[in-house]
Amino acid sequence: MIRLSIGKKLLLGFLSYGVLTILIALFTLSSLNQLTDINTGITRRDIPLTEIADRMAESLLAQELYASRAMILKSSDVLSLFEKRSEEFKQLIEQMSVLPERETIPLEKLTVLHEEYTQLFKNALRDSGESSSATKRYDQQMKGKHEEILRLVKEISLTARQEQIQKARMISEVGNRAFRVTAGLCISGILLGVLMALIMTRNIAGPISQLKLSTQEISEGNFDHLPQVQSRDELGDLAKSFQEMAIRLKQLEEMYLDANPLTRLPGGVAIEQVLKTKLAEKAPLAFCLADLRNFKAFNDRYGYARGNEVILATTEMIRQAVKDHGKEGDFIGHIGGDDFVLVTSPAEYEKICSAIVETFDRQILKFYDPEDQQRGHIQGKTRRGEPVSFPIMTIAIAVVTNQQRELKSHIQIGEIAAEMKNFAKKFSKSIFVVDKRRDRPPEGA
């Protein structure tokens, strides 16, 4: 599936809408241009042609009237009127010749017929005194020619009117078609806009609502309410990061709730999770369990407040040793009381443990009163009231690694570490001991 960012999705949506808008505009402009051409044809050709044809008919009728009077009266004034009308007819032919699509107008035929009609009139006028039969013959010829010209003029006028009506119908058809198509495109545009709005709502508003709801749930401590966003864009990436963040926050909250209230170090749950992860990854592992010998006696002698100072100081000693000799990813935990845990690698534990032991022995005396420092022990009494002395505190560290044996569970690691811690506490000095036992070889090997 192609990955599209939110910006590209919006761009595609607006482009499709823009293309549709351009199509509407182009079709509308094309229809308007077609209507303009038709109207131009009507106003510049059909209407003027009809008017000219009507004027020609009037001119012909006037010519016929003046011709008849001229034949009877033999008046030069009437002859002048005939000639004037004849010139007017010729001018009307010239007006027709400049109209658009002049090739469809029978101008040559009209000109020839009118010239023949005029010549017949002149011949008839010239020969009018010869005989009545000649006059009658010219009369018939002029009448026939006049009717032929008039019929042709009427045909021109009728054709122009028919074309005007046809073009008016075309205007109606083009207008109706333009309206239907434009309306259809506009409705399509509205539907496309609604569709794009729905798509944007689903692809943007929907994931944002899920992220908002998940944020509210997580803020209330419900870390399992993760947003389910399938879109392949920035919101999908944000949802994945949000899920990772929620998982991490859940882990941090578990660690916080599990953390020791005094040292703020992770407790048993976090320690167990770290060991499970190391074992699952089959990573090199060194588990160090530290315990303070004679801490209870110190607490009984000086009280819990000074005992807390020793716990905090021991925490800082371990942190400093890991900082100086460990590596990134080393883990420090506090099971409770005077028991601490360090998870590091087999290559680093020796330097770290040595630094802890050395620093502890150098700093622990400052927590005792001067007289106890001089004596080197604390004087106390047993439950029976008998006097007893408790040595200065020491630190015992039990180390379990997977160098010599395969460690299968965190429970196994804890059992081995407890065994090694009991062994280390038998020494009267601060010390770290390492379990170097190997796995038993298979029987028959």
Contact status, residue 174 vs residue 34, Cβ threshold 8 Å: yes
Tens digit of pLDDT for each residue in 142-188?
888 889 999 999 999 999 899 889 988 998 888 888 888 888 888 88
* For residue 105, pLDDT beyond 80: yes
- Separation of first and last alpha carbons in the chain: 56
- Whether the predicted pLDDT of 288 surpasses 90: yes
Whole-model pTM: value is 0.50
Averaging pLDDT over each range in 54-68, 193-207, 359-373, which range is the top one? 359-373
395 closest CA partner among 324, 321, 331: 321
pLDDT in tens, 240-276: 776 677 677 666 666 655 678 899 898 888 899 999 9
Mean pLDDT for the stretch of residues 221-243 = 67
Q: How many CA atoms lie within 13 A of 374 on its CB side?
A: 3
Q: How confident is the model at residue 232 (pLDDT cuts 50, 70, 90)?
A: low
Q: Which residues pair with 286 in a beta bridge?
A: 344, 401
Lowest-pLDDT range, 3-17, 40-54, 320-334, 353-367?
3-17
Please report the pLDDT score of residue 320 as a whole number: 96
Q: What is the mean pLDDT of residues 1-6?
A: 62
Distances (CA, A) of 106 to 96, 100, 102, 252: 10, 13, 8, 101
Task: Identify the structural domains of the chain with CATH numbers, from first to last.
Answer: 6-194 (1.20.120.1730), 261-435 (3.30.70.270)
DSSP state of 102: G
Residue 445 is predicted with a pLDDT of: 42
Provide the mean pLDDT of the chain.
85
